[in-house]
């Protein structure tokens, strides 16, 4: 990259003036030789440096965004350059601590391969030829395109795929699509819908849970690496320390139930290796022992749960209770055969868990993102209810939300109403995926089939389907059928590479945003993200861009927004100011805002326990072992099918169960039960299962372009910069595979190559691969490092929730 001295600056500035901005070049050149000169020269090396005196140093409080955890940070800025990120010592989740990702945020800000301004594709799609375009022009063109589509009555043909929405960005995108008239706000969440639905069906709250780690005595951790994938990371890590050494004389026990021997498993007091997809059976086996030995919380079960004992409904029909189901069907001997966990361990763990209250049973993507994810999560959560750990100190909590002011109700014109009546393009909420709020992995099929309609314009917000979805080749194909793709990414990831228009966002250290904490503290907590440096390049906040597009479309669409995103955020925060509670009780707007920035956020401790009306919102007002809520929704669907096809209720129900590919029968459908995992590929031909997992430096799949994180990536195996494939020593011996030998991993979908790593902590017939590698784009440090296993993972679903089943694909190993 050429250095910008004063002389070259002046020279190229005049040259650029003469030449205009019509340069276009290939992406490889951009990455290797630097960016078009007009980007280089329109900013001095340190934007805004003239506002700083020599050696001047300031600290800015803000919020991290290396994962969705939203920890408080303070950034040391010297003469306009951000030089160090530290934890915000008063922010309640992390109290000054930060995880390695959070520490490394400056490699996001100062990534040399960032996109430096809006760009428009000029060559073939994916060829990588771009032309810079002004923001005004880009917004005008996009506004015209969207307005035209809307005037033809086809506003529903616009879709947004997004993830990583922080604070009010999600509601802003919702609002835009609502007033514009498209139902297609598609979340890229691929794994956690199962867990959230379990909470919804049993407790009536569709959210993640918070846990009172500090006061708990026993933790059963199913399919989530507490110390590697926990969110908010720094909070979970702090809580690990607290559990062990926070209370004199009391040290909680952590039992890690995991497919592989992870770092969390090695830091836990016990590791229970379980066969993939059988966690649900294990949880019900534990429940069996707890009920059999009469160790459950009788008072809680009697007063606050529904469906424990057999019961009779209004029509007089007998229904089987949870107790009955579990005692009959999940004796430890049977569970042991399914899960591979010895009966002795099942008995002992259950007894310990029930007798060391308060305890918690937690779960994550590992079990949620499977074809049986919903029922597995329900099975695990029922353990919490059995020992009465709901909303008590040391138990499960429900995160309270800050008292935001609702934005005013926007006016919908006829165009919007018409568009919103269309079905969603991912069929979420339809008979195919009845309880899904999004079904992102089904998009390629629908787009290729043009069903239920053809997509016209696709927006990508902090998502990279061409890297992180299963069976990536299908997404590539689908992309060719979409006439126009817009990406907001600040980095040239795989999907942005295939876009037609790039409208780069600021990185998280350059922008204004509110950031509501994901479930953690229990009490309401809101962080404020503020720019710590002036934006380095010609980038713009996506919130502002969406508002500008809305204004360009005009009419009711434009009228739904204030002038810019920060105003919208400040409007919502009025609710907190006027509430006058929590950490800032300042009523005067200027002072309130100043205090907010000074503290890095607002919070209102403590959490009040046993607020049953808040935490249990089911129809029975009790924790439901038998989900009346699910019954209600399924009955509605069944009725619809029965009416349409002229079937009896029973027949229609059977038909629906078959369509959803459930193995549970009758009442089981509404209760926690064990569903065997569904597989892609024949066991004889493809004897191995695969498991992808997260490690701490993983940064939610966005860390590949951060060299420091790459260099500490494989702590457990002392590996860095490339992926590995963990294989059990006996399997390796049988196949004659040596350590470090390259092997093909073949599935019915395709094959990819990995370096084998013989690991005792892997299970027989299960291969483990870490996420993050295998980028074909995304900057100089991420590109061409190993393979991406997602390429060969087939698309199997949990049809109830729309989750992808990540562990369903069978594979075989072939020596290279």
**Smallest distance from the beta carbon of 356 to other proteins, in angstroms?**
7
**Separation between Cα atoms, residue 671 and residue 666, nearest integer Å:** 10
What does the per-residue mask of binding to other proteins show for 16-45, with x meaning CB under 8 A?
Answer: -----------------------------x
| List 23, 722, 750, 783, residue binding other proteins (CB under 8 A) | 722
Tokens coding 541: 């906040």
Collapsed DSSP state (helix, strand, coil) of residue 323: helix
**Identified binder of other proteins from the candidate list 11, 58, 148, 251, rule CB under 8 A:** 251
Closest CA to 92 of 513, 600, 587, 532: 600
- Tell me the per-residue interface mask from 434 to 453 with other proteins, x by CB under 8 A, - otherwise: --------------------
Give Rg (Cα) of the chain.
27
712 binds other proteins (CB under 8 A): yes
To other proteins, the closest distance from the beta carbon of 762 in angstroms equals 9
Distances (CA, A) of 49 to 57, 67, 194: 12, 30, 49
Q: Does 314 bind other proteins (CB under 8 A)?
A: no
Packed helices 279-292 and 343-355: angle between N→C axes, nearest 10 degrees: 60
The DSSP code for 755 is E
Q: Do the bridges between strand 253-258 and strand 270-273 make them parallel or antiparallel, or are there none, so unpaired?
A: parallel
Near other proteins by CB under 8 A: residue from 94, 155, 599, 808: 94
Among candidate residues 804, 721, 796, 790, the one with its CA nearest the CA of residue 755: 721
Binding mask 97-116 for other proteins (x = CB under 8 A): xxxx-xxx-xx-xxxx----
- Binding test (CB under 8 A) with other proteins, winner from 158, 234, 390, 547: 234
238 binds other proteins (CB under 8 A): yes
In the complex, minimum distance from the CB of residue 226 to other proteins, in angstroms, rounded to a whole number: 9
CB of 484 to other proteins, least distance (A): 31
Candidate list 96, 410, 558, 664; residue touching other proteins; CB under 8 A: 96
Nearer to other proteins, 785 or 791 (CB): 785
Which among 379, 430, 401 is positioned nearest to 202, based on CA atoms? 379
CB of 106 to other proteins, least distance (A): 4
Within the chain, what is the greatest distance between any pair of CA atoms?
Answer: 90
Burial of 421 (0-12, 13-18, 19+ CB in 10 A): exposed
Q: Distance of CA 442 to CAs 208, 327, 417, Å?
A: 24, 38, 25
Using the rule CB under 8 A, is 703 a contact of other proteins?
A: no
Which value, to the nearest 10 degrees, does the dihedral of the CA atoms of residues 476, 766, 190, 678 take? 90
Q: Give 174 or 722: the residue with its C-beta nearer to other proteins.
A: 722
- Gap between the Cα atoms of 517 and 208, Å rounded: 11
Print the SS3 string covering 693-716: ECCHHHHHHCCCCCHHHHHCCEHH
Residues 625, 626, 627, 628: what is their CA dihedral angle, to the nearest 10 degrees?
-130
92 counts as binding other proteins under rule CB under 8 A: no
Binding mask 192-231 for other proteins (x = CB under 8 A): -------------------------x---------x----
**Which range, of 234-242, 330-338, 465-473, 499-507, touches other proteins by CB under 8 A?**
234-242
Kindly state whether residue 1 participates in binding other proteins, applying the rule CB under 8 A: yes
Task: State the minimum distance, in angstroms, from the CB of residue 369 to other proteins.
Answer: 23
Determine if 454 is a binding residue for other proteins (CB under 8 A).
Answer: no
CB 358 to other proteins: min, Å: 12
**Binding of other proteins by 811 (CB under 8 A):** no
Nearer to other proteins, 40 or 667 (CB): 40
Q: Judged by CB under 8 A, does residue 536 bind other proteins?
A: yes
Other Cβ atoms closer than 10 A to 126: 17
Read off the DSSP letter of residue 671: S
Q: Tokens at residue 735, please?
A: 């196949």
Candidate segments 76-84, 541-549, 625-633, 644-652, binder of other proteins by CB under 8 A:
76-84
Select from 250, 337, 414, 734 the one that contacts other proteins (CB under 8 A): 250
Asked if residues 758 and 694 have their Cβ atoms less than 8 Å apart, the reply is no
Q: Tell me, by CB under 8 A, how many residues bind other proteins.
A: 70
Residues 667-696 interacting with other proteins (rule: CB under 8 A)? 696
- Binds other proteins by CB under 8 A, chosen from 131, 422, 720, 776: 720
Q: Which of 266, 480, 585, 608 binds other proteins (CB under 8 A)?
A: 266
DSSP track, 234-295: HHHHHHHHHHHHTBTTB--EEEEEESS--HHHHHSSEEEE--TT-HHHHHHHHHHHHHHTT-
Element (H, E) at 306: strand 305-306
Task: Assess 81 for contact with other proteins (CB under 8 A).
Answer: yes
Tell me the two tokens of residue 215: 């006061």
- Selected from 244, 454, 751, 755, the binder of other proteins by CB under 8 A is 244
Sequence length of the chain is 816
* Residue from the set 120, 785, 791, 810 that interacts with other proteins by CB under 8 A: 785
Is residue 358 part of the contact set for other proteins (CB under 8 A)? no
Helix (H) or strand (E) segment spanning residue 62: strand 57-63
Residue selected from 122, 205, 263, 579 as contacting other proteins according to rule CB under 8 A? 263
Q: Does residue 46 touch other proteins according to CB under 8 A?
A: yes
Q: Tell me the closest approach of the beta carbon of residue 227 to other proteins, in angstroms.
A: 5
Binding interface with other proteins (CB under 8 A)? 1, 3, 45-46, 78, 81-87, 94-100, 102-104, 106-107, 109-112, 217, 227, 233-235, 237-238, 240-241, 244-245, 249-253, 261, 263, 266-267, 269, 352, 356, 536, 696-697, 707-712, 715-718, 720-722, 760-761, 785
């Amino acid at each position: 990259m050429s250095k910008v001295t004063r002389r070259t600056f002046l020279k190229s500035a005049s040259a650029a003036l003469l030449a205009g901005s019509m340069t276009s070049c290939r992406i490889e050149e951009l990455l290797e030789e630097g960016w078009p000169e007009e980007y280089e020269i329109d900013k001095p090396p340190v934007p805004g440096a003239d506002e700083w005196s020599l050696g001047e140093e300031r600290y800015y409080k803000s919020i991290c965004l290396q994962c969705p955890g939203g920890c408080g940070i303070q950034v040391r800025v010297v003469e306009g350059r951000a030089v160090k990120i530290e934890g915000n010592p008063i922010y309640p989740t992390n109290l000054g601590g930060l995880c390695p990702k959070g520490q490394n945020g400056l490699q996001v800000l100062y990534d040399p391969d960032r996109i430096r301004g809006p760009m428009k594709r000029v060559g073939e799609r994916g060829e990588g030829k771009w032309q810079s375009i002004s923001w005004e022009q880009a917004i005008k063109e996009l506004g015209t395109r969207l307005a035209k589509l809307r005037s033809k009555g086809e506003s529903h043909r616009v879709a947004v795929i997004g993830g990583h929405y922080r604070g009010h960005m999600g509601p802003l995108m919702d609002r835009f699509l609502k007033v514009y008239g498209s139902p297609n706000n598609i979340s890229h969440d691929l794994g956690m819908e199962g867990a959230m639905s379990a909470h919804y069906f049993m407790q009536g709250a569709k959210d993640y849970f918070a846990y009172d780690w500090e006061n708990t005595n026993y933790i059963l951790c199913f399919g989530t690496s507490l110390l590697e994938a926990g969110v908010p990371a720094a909070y979970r890590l702090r809580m690990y320390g607290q559990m062990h050494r926070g209370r004199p004389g009391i040290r909680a026990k952590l039992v890690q139930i995991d497919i592989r021997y992870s770092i969390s498993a090695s830091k836990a007091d016990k590791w229970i290796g379980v066969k993939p997809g059988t966690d649900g059976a294990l949880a019900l086996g534990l429940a069996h022992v707890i009920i059999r030995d009469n160790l459950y919380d009788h008072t809680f079960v009697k007063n606050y749960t529904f469906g424990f004992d057999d019961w009779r409904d209004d029509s007089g029909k007998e229904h089987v209770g949870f107790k009955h189901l579990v005692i009959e069907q999940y004796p430890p001997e049977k569970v042991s055969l399914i899960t591979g966990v010895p009966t002795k361990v099942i008995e002992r763990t259950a007894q310990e868990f029930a007798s060391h209250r308060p305890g918690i049973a937690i779960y994550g993507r590992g079990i949620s993102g499977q074809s049986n994810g919903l029922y597995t999560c329900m099975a695990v959560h029922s353990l919490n209810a059995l020992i009465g750990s709901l909303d008590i100190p040391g138990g499960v909590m429900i995160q309270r939300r800050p008292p935001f002011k609702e934005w005013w109700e926007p006016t919908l014109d006829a165009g919007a109403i018409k568009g919103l009546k269309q079905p969603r393009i991912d069929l979420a909420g339809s008979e195919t995926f009845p309880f899904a709020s999004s079904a992102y992995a089904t998009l390629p099929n629908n787009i290729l089939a043009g069903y239920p309609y053809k997509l016209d314009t696709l927006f990508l917000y902090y998502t990279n389907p061409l890297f992180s979805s299963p069976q990536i080749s299908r997404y590539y194909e689908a992309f060719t059928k979409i006439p126009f793709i817009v990406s907001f990414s600040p980095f040239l990831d795989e999907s942005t590479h295939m876009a037609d228009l790039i409208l780069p966002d600021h990185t998280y250290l350059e922008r204004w945003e509110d950031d509501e904490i994901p479930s953690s503290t229990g009490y309401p907590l809101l962080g404020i993200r503020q720019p710590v440096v002036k934006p380095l390049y010609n980038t713009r906040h996506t919130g502002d861009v969406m508002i500008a597009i809305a204004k360009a479309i005009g009419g009711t669409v434009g009228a739904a927004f204030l002038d810019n995103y920060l105003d919208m955020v400040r409007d919502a925060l009025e609710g907190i100011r006027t509430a006058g509670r929590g950490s800032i009780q300042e009523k005067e707007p200027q002072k309130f805002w100043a205090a907010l920035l000074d503290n890095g956020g607002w919070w209102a401790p403590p959490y009040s326990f046993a607020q049953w009306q808040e935490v249990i919102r089911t129809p029975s007002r009790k924790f439901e072992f038998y989900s009346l809520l699910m019954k209600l929704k399924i009955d509605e669907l069944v009725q619809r099918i029965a009416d349409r096809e002229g079937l009896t209720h029973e027949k229609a129900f059977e038909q629906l169960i078959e369509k959803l590919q459930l193995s549970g029968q009758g009442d089981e459908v509404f209760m926690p039960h064990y569903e065997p995992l569904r597989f892609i590929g024949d066991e004889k031909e493809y004897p191995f299962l695969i498991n992808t997992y997260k490690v701490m430096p993983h940064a939610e799949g966005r860390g590949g372009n951060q060299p420091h994180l790459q260099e500490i990536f494989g702590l457990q195996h002392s590996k860095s910069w490339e992926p590995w494939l963990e294989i059990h020593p006996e399997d390796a011996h049988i196949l004659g595979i040596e350590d470090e030998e390259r092997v093909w991993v073949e599935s019915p979908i395709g094959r990819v190559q990995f370096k084998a790593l013989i690991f005792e902590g892997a299970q027989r017939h299960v291969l483990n691969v870490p996420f993050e590698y295998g980028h074909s784009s995304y900057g100089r440090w991420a590109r061409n490092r190993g393979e991406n296993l997602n390429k060969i993972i087939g698309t199997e679903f949990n049809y109830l929730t729309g989750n992808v089943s990540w562990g369903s694909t069978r594979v075989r190993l072939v020596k290279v």
